[in-house]
Amino acid sequence: TLGGIDCSGNQLTALDLSKNTALTALYCNNNRLTGLDVSKNTALTELYCDVNEMTSLNVQGCVQLDTLLCNNNLLTELDVSSCSALWYLDCSYNNLTSLTLGNNENLMYFSCAENPMLPSVDTSGVPNLIVFYEGIEINEERFPDSMFRLILAYFYSMDSTSRQGLA
């Protein structure tokens, strides 16, 4: 069984892992990828495809995906509605005009900051969202005041090792 692949920082422009259906983790950040389709990688739990040149990302069918970092790309749309295990999503610094979260009860940590063409995000199907980086219109009742948002932003900016045991 293939566990994970780390091909970060290799100037890759394309990556086809469709035959690696048992893949659980993919680290392909800091490349020159223009698109990525992991829809056949249904065992995938972690995907780090940030800092690329991607205009498309297909994660449909990745029901076990719990961590997705696709920030710092050129994405115009993103649909994570089928990623029912997703709890951490960073899609900031893209060109998003459409973001579909769907009914995602596990999503807790989320950033879509610096997507100037994204006017709003429907979070009505995301009842457990506790961290959100500001930058677009959202249901403010979940984030009662600026101090609360500041503390959550600090928590969100820590690496995963520092966060362990805090949530």
pTM of structure: 0.80
43, 67 in Cβ contact below 8 A?
no
Q: Per residue in 6-25, pLDDT tens?
A: 999 999 999 999 999 999 99
Q: Per residue in 12-70, pLDDT tens?
A: 999 999 999 999 999 999 999 999 999 999 999 999 999 999 999 999 999 999 999 99
- 18: number of Cβ within 10 Å: 12
Kindly state the DSSP code that residue 163 receives in the 8-state scheme.
Answer: H
Half-sphere exposure of 52 (CA within 13 A, CB side): 30
